[in-house]
Amino acid sequence: MRRFLLPVVVLFFFIMESTVVDLVLIPSFSEDMYYVPRFTLLVLIFIAVYVRDQLAIAYAICFGLLHDIVYTEVLGIYLFAYPFLALISGRALRILQNNAFVVLLIGMLSISVLEFYVYGIQLVINPDPLSFYEFINRRFLPTLAVNSIAGLVIIFPLKLFLTRLKKQTED
């Protein structure tokens, strides 16, 4: 039963990405500003930090492919980005201090890299993309703000859950 708990938790955050956009209205955002929740990536980074890199990469491949199938028209964008960012984040946090603030900082850096990666792909594929200024002001900054708040809310309960899970699997 315990081995099914982590995939269910990651699936919950994957589903929450699309649900939060519809349910949570942020009054300070105008109509032309939009945010993209990246809760799954945050959870994958937390798994890489608090449990194991290999487990995070396996989940990143599965949920990256699932993200491509459900949300995008091009397969492979998130399939390659999620495992790469989970691996780099997990390795970076082995070198740096492993406290909650640094983990959140690396998480926000990973989300920033993902957003610029997706914007670069859209520049190549889309004939009429957002200008860089519009991308920064209308998508990137609101996305970073929402994910920072979400990261602050979920890091401590998720850290507790993941450290308990790691301890149980080691025993």
**Each residue of 93-132: pLDDT tens digit?**
888 877 889 999 999 999 999 999 999 999 998 878 789 9
Task: Tell whether pTM > 0.75.
Answer: yes
Question: How far is 137 from 43, CA to CA, in rounded Å?
Answer: 26
* pLDDT, greater one: 20 or 59: 59
Q: Are 57 and 101 in contact (CB under 8 A)?
A: no
Helix or strand run (H / E) with residue 30: none
Half-sphere exposure (CA, 13 Å, Cβ side) for 158?
A: 26
pLDDT at 1 over 60: no
**Each residue of 147-169: pLDDT tens digit?**
999 999 999 999 999 999 889 88
**Each residue of 67-83: pLDDT tens digit?**
999 988 888 999 999 99
Question: How far is 67 from 76, CA to CA, in rounded Å?
Answer: 9
Written as one letter, the residue type at 114 is L
pLDDT at 6 over 60: yes
Q: What DSSP character marks residue 10?
A: H
Helix segments in the chain, DSSP class H:
5-23, 39-50, 53-71, 77-95, 100-125, 132-134, 141-170
pLDDT at 60 over 70: yes
Concatenating the DSSP letter of every residue in 48-93 gives HHHT-HHHHHHHHHHHHHHHHHHH-SSTTHHHHHHHHHHHHHHHHH
Question: How far is 51 from 123, CA to CA, in rounded Å?
Answer: 36
Coil, helix or strand for 131? coil
